[in-house]
């Protein structure tokens, strides 16, 4: 408690800035550092499901997004070829999704953290986590071109993404690992109006999606199994365009559109980590990373920021012991995240749905309540555990007998 900061947060994007903001709003002394200077882009598409928008609303930040010119998305449509399941992704309280450019979203979050009283250092590279025995007690780092400094805090927070330096230093237990499953690529297009729709096209061993974003642009993201990564990477454009041609109606719309940016993207590993230990915690991708196919990363980072703040506040205010509060944080995170993690890893194989699943999709098709639920499950509004529960599947199937 005698350290100059209560928390030092490494990483200032979707996990780090909201966490820094929420801790600072509670009166804690927060230093948040990032090697980037904001606004800053990053390799990521950026569908923000309704529960993510709901978090922004709780934090008083949603207006900043809506007034930035980011179009709302009221409908998700999943085109399987023979039929499409389409519905509304949100709830009465949070009806719509968004797809904000990371240059806009991350800047908005960084500004909110600073306004809440967190000390922000941009262009600041963390080189090492300072350990005293088993305990993390600080960081060493430097501004670009500057001299090295040491900063100390009661808790060091790794919000530094899937290649987390903090996790690398403290070596957390890792579980449920899967190798990269998908090779995703994306680019931005003009002249491709989406009318508030997020469209996903699923074909054997291929999948792609399109969503409207800032500046009247549409982002298209798609890919193939990771087993094709090496052979296809020499001609991403050719393979990408062949993939879009698998959906002829969409391909017609693409013919009238213009690609405005080169392709970006990156396959990612899948893992879950124990998110706490002596003097350190992990939030966002640093603690739990998964394939982007279900676009859950930003919502999960927001959720971690809120729940980790609650847990650490209980610790730092003396109401609960560290292991107890952080153990609850981990259990709650895993209970929420693991069903979606399994669903995501399954989807990312791009294997055709097994026959039972195809029957289920057939039964859902045309029934608006169940299509809404299917869409909400993909958005993370309801859990895959609930949607695929025997009771729910039995109810859906009984309707077509
Ligand atoms: C191709 C792709 C598409 C995706 N699409 C979506 C999507 O549509 N929707 C969605 O919700 N999620 C998507 N994701 C996932 C999403 O990008 C992440 O889940 C999200 O960015 C996690 O936020 P974070 O704050 O935990 O980490 P990051 O966004 O990775 O931020 C980590 C920050 O830490 C900083 N940092 C790291 N190391 C250091 C250091 N040593 N010193 C100083 N700073 C450091 C970095 O500069 C960075 O700013 C996608 C990911 C990929 C790869």
pLDDT of residue 144 exceeding 90: no
Write the CB contacts of 352 (distance below 8 Å, at least 6 apart in sequence).
204, 358
Q: Do the Cβ atoms of 326 and 275 come closer than 8 Å? A: yes
- Cα-to-centroid distance, 390 and ligand 1 (Å): 35
pLDDT at 241: 98
Phi, psi of 121 (to 5 degrees): -120, 110
How high is the pLDDT of residue 338? 98
Q: Whose CA is nearest to atom 30 of ligand 1?
A: 161
% of the chain at pLDDT higher than 90: 97
DSSP string across 237-260: HHHHHHHHTTSHHHHHHHHTSEE-
CB under 8 Å to 26, separation ≥6 — which residues?
A: 309, 313
Specify the DSSP element, H or E, that contains 373. helix 368-379
What local confidence, expressed as pLDDT, does residue 23 receive? 98
Q: Compute the Cα dihedral for 45, 46, 51, 56 and give only its sign.
A: positive
Closest ligand 1 atom, residue 268 Cα: 53
Which H or E run contains 336? helix 322-348
Query: Could you tell me the distance, in angstroms and rounded to a whole number, from the CA of residue 169 to the centre of ligand 1?
Result: 19
Nearest CA owner, ligand 1 atom 40 = 126
> Which pair of structure tokens corresponds to residue 265?
């993207």
Ligand 1 atom with the shortest distance to the CA of 185: 1
What residue spans of 41-177 are helical by DSSP H?
50-58, 62-66, 102-115, 165-170
Ligand 1 surroundings by CB, under 6 angstroms: 10-16, 33-36, 42-47, 125-126, 159-161, 165, 184, 265-266, 268, 284-286, 292, 295-299, 301
Atom of ligand 1 nearest to the CA of 264: 1
Mean pLDDT of the chain: 97
Average pLDDT over residues 198-226: 98
Ligand 1 centroid, distance to 147 Cα (angstroms): 27
Report the nearest-CA residue for atom 37 of ligand 1: 160
Cβ contacts of residue 23 below 8 Å, gap of 6+? 6, 7, 30, 118, 309, 312, 313
The CA 16 to ligand 1 mean position distance, Å, reads 10
* Ligand 1 centre distance from Cα of residue 162 (Å): 7
Q: Would you call 151 helix, strand, or coil by DSSP? A: strand
Reported as a single tens digit per residue, the pLDDT across 60-93 is 999 999 999 999 999 999 999 999 999 999 999 9
Number of C-beta neighbours around residue 378 at 10 A: 26
**pLDDT tens for residues 343-392?**
999 999 999 989 999 999 999 998 999 999 999 999 999 999 999 999 99
Cis before 39? omega within 30: yes
- Band (pLDDT 50/70/90 cuts) for residue 401 is low
Please provide the DSSP assignment of 208-220 as one string. EEEEE-GGG-EEE
Contacts 24+ apart (CB under 8 A), 148-154: 151/4, 151/5, 151/8, 151/31, 152/3, 152/4, 152/5, 152/8, 153/3, 153/4, 153/5, 153/6, 153/7, 153/8, 153/31, 154/1, 154/3, 154/5, 154/6, 154/7, 154/279, 154/316
User: How does residue 316 score in pLDDT terms, banded at 50, 70 and 90?
Assistant: very high
Instruction: Using the predicted structure, report yes or no on whether residue 1 has a pLDDT greater than 80.
Output: no
215-231 pLDDT, tens digit each: 999 999 999 999 999 99
Q: Report the distance separating Cα 303 and Cα 41, nearest Å.
A: 22
Q: How confident is the model over 236-248, as pLDDT tens digits?
A: 999 999 999 999 9
Q: Is the pLDDT of residue 192 over 70?
A: yes
Which H or E element spans position 119? Answer: strand 119-121
What average pLDDT does range 326-346 have in this prediction?
A: 98
pLDDT tens string 252-274: 999 999 999 999 999 999 999 99
pLDDT at 251 over 70: yes
Per-residue pLDDT, 84:
97
- Tens of pLDDT, residues 7-20: 999 999 999 999 99
Average pLDDT over residues 310-323: 98
In ligand 1, the atom with minimum distance to the C-alpha of 296 is: 11
Mutate to test the pocket of ligand 1, among 35, 44, 102, 129 (most ligand atoms within 8 A of CB): 44
User: Residue 242 to residues 39, 203, 265, 266, 283: CA-CA distances in angstroms?
Assistant: 34, 12, 18, 20, 38
pTM of the shown model: 0.98
pLDDT of residue 400 exceeding 80, the answer is no
Among 113, 144, 160, the mutation site with the greatest number of ligand 1 atoms within 8 A of its Cβ is: 160
Q: Is the pLDDT of residue 334 over 90?
A: yes
Distance CA 152, CA 168 (A): 18
**Residue 178, CA atoms < 13 Å, CB-side half-sphere:** 21
Gap from CA of 81 to ligand 1 centroid (Å): 32
Which ligand 1 atom sits nearest the alpha carbon of residue 99?
8
User: Taking the CA atoms of the chain, what radius of gyration do you get in angstroms?
Assistant: 21
Indicate if the pLDDT at residue 276 is higher than 70.
Answer: yes
Cα-to-centroid distance, 286 and ligand 1 (Å):
9
């Amino acid at each position: 408690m005698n350290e100059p900061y209560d928390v030092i947060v490494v990483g200032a994007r979707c996990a780090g800035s909201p966490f820094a903001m929420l801790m600072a709003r509670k009166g804690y002394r927060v230093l948040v550092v990032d090697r980037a200077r904001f606004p800053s882009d990053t390799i990521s598409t950026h569908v923000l499901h309704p529960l993510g928008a709901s978090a922004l609303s709780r934090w008083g930040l949603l207006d900043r997004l809506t007034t930035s010119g980011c179009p709302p998305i009221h409908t998700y449509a999943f085109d399987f070829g023979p039929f499409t399941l389409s519905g509304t992704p949100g709830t009465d309280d949070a009806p719509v999704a968004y797809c904000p450019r990371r240059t806009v979203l991350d800047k908005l979050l960084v500004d909110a953290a600073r306004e809440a009283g967190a000390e922000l250092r941009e262009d600041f590279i963390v080189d090492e986590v300072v350990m005293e025995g088993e305990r993390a007690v600080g960081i060493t780092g430097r501004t670009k071109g500057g001299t090295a400094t040491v900063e100390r805090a009661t808790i060091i927070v790794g919000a530094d993404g899937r290649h987390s330096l903090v996790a690398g230093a403290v070596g957390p237990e890792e579980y449920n690992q899967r190798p990269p499953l998908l090779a995703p690529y994306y680019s931005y297009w003009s002249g491709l109006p989406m009318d508030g729709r997020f469209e996903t096209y699923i074909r054997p061993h291929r999948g792609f999606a399109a969503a409207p974003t800032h500046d009247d642009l549409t982002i298209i993201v798609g890919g193939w199994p990771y087993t094709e990564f090496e052979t296809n990477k020499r001609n991403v454009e050719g393979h990408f365009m062949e993939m879009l041609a698998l959906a002829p109606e969409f391909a017609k719309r693409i013919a009238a559109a213009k690609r405005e940016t080169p392709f970006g993207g990156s396959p990612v590993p899948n893992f879950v980590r124990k998110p706490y230990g002596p003097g350190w915690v992990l939030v966002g991708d640093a603690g739990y990373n998964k394939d982007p196919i279900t676009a859950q990363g930003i919502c999960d980072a927001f959720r971690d920021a809120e729940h980790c703040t609650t847990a650490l506040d209980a610790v730092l205010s003396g109401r609960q012991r560290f292991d107890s509060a952080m153990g609850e944080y981990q259990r709650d995170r895993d209970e929420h995240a693991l069903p979606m993690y399994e669903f995501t890893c399954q989807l990312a194989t791009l294997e055709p749905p097994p026959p039972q699943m195809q029957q289920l999709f057939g039964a859902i098709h045309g029934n608006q309540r169940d299509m809404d639920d299917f869409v909400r499950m993909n958005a993370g509004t309801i859990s895959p555990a609930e949607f695929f529960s025997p009771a729910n599947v039995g109810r859906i199937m009984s309707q077509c007998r």
